[in-house]
Amino acid sequence: MKAFLFVWLATFFTYFSYKGYNLDRSVFFGGSDREERYYYKSLLFAKENNELKAKLSRMVHQVQKLKSKNHYLALKLQEKNDRDDQDSGRMIASFTPVREFNLSPEEKDHVQYDIYKWGEYKLYTIANREYNLKNYDKASQFYVELINQYPDSDYLSESMLLKSAYACYRTGKYYKQAINVLDLLLRRYPHSKHYKKAKLWRGLSYFHTGDFGEFHATVEEFRVKYRNAKEWEILRRYYEKIIVRSQKL
C-alpha cells in the first residue's frame, strides 16, 4: 500500500511539474511555436530599426557638417571678393555710407573733419573716450565719421558698430544714423552675437522716427522667434504704447 502511494505521488508531481513548465513556457513565448517565431521576429525587427536610426543619425550629422563647410567656404569667397573690390579701388559691396548729420545752428560739429583730417585711430579713440563718458553727441559724430571715412577699418568690429548705433540712439535725435549703422552691422555680421540687440535698437529707432511699419515688422520677428528673450519684453511695451495711442484717437 505504501509503495503504491509513493508511486502515485511521484507520478502526480512529475505530471504537474511538466504541465507547470509548459505553462511557464506558454506564458513567456505566447503559447505556441508560431507566436514564439513572431516574438523572435519582433526582436530582429527592433534591432534593424535601431541600426537604421543610428545610420540616419550619422547621415544627418554628415549633412550638417557639409552645410557648415559650405557656409564657411561661402564666407571665405565673400572675403576674397571684398578684398578684390578693395584692390581694384571699388567700395566694399556691403558698405553704405551712414547718413550725414544735419546739424542745427545750436548743435556743434565736434569732428570738423575738413579741418583736422583725423586718422582712423584718432577717431576711434576719441569716440570710445566720449562714449565711456556718456557724451553721446560727440561720440556718435566721431563713430559715424570713422565709419564713413574708413569703411574697411579693422576697428569696425561687431561690438564697435553696436556701440556706434547705441550712441546715436541715446542722443535722442540721431535715430536715422543709428538705423544706418545697424543695417551695416546686420549686413556684415548676419550671425552676430549681438543680432537681437541690433534688431531691438533698430526697431526702437524706427519707432521714434514714426516708421511704425518697420517697427511692427521687428515686433513680429521677435514675437515669432524670440518670445523668451528680454528684448521681446522691451519691444512689447513699446508696441502696447502704439495700441493705447490708437485707442485714444
Q: What CATH number does the domain containing 118 carry?
A: 1.25.40.10
CA 182 to CA 195: how far, in whole Å?
10
pLDDT tens-digit series, residues 101-141: 777 777 888 998 888 889 999 999 999 999 999 999 999 99
pLDDT at 19: 46
Number of residues written out for the chain = 249
- Are 234 and 224 in contact, with CB atoms under 8 Å apart? no
pLDDT at 246: 63
Average pLDDT in the 19-25 region?
46
Structural domain harbouring 204: 113-248
What 3-state DSSP class applies to 102? coil
How many domains is the chain built from? 1
Higher pLDDT among residues 56 and 177, named by residue: 177
Higher pLDDT among residues 183 and 68, named by residue: 183
**140-164: b or e for each residue (b if 16 or more CB lie within 10 Å)?**
bbbbbbbbbbbbeeebbebebbbbb
pLDDT at 21: 44
Does some domain include residue 157? yes
Cβ atoms within 10 Å of 120's Cβ, excluding its own: 16
Does some domain include residue 143? yes
pLDDT tens-digit series, residues 36-92: 666 667 777 777 878 887 777 677 656 655 655 565 565 556 555 555 554 544 444
Percent of the chain whose pLDDT exceeds 90: 47
Q: Which residues, including other chains, have CB under 8 Å from residue 212's CB and lie 6 or more apart?
A: 206, 242
CA 222 to CA 231: how far, in whole Å?
8
Does some domain include residue 87? no
Does some domain include residue 122? yes
pLDDT at 106: 75
- Are 133 and 164 in contact, with CB atoms under 8 Å apart? no
Higher pLDDT among residues 24 and 236, named by residue: 236
CA 126 to CA 123: how far, in whole Å?
5
Does some domain include residue 43? no
pLDDT at 243: 77
Does some domain include residue 242? yes
Is 185 a residue whose pLDDT tops 60?
yes
CA 239 to CA 204: how far, in whole Å?
10
| Closest to 119 in 3D by CA, of 86, 161, 149, 164 | 149
Calculate ∠ Cα 93-157-189, nearest 5°: 55
The sign of the CA dihedral 99, 157, 160, 207 is: positive
Does some domain include residue 29? no
What does DSSP assign to residue 101?
P
Does some domain include residue 33? no
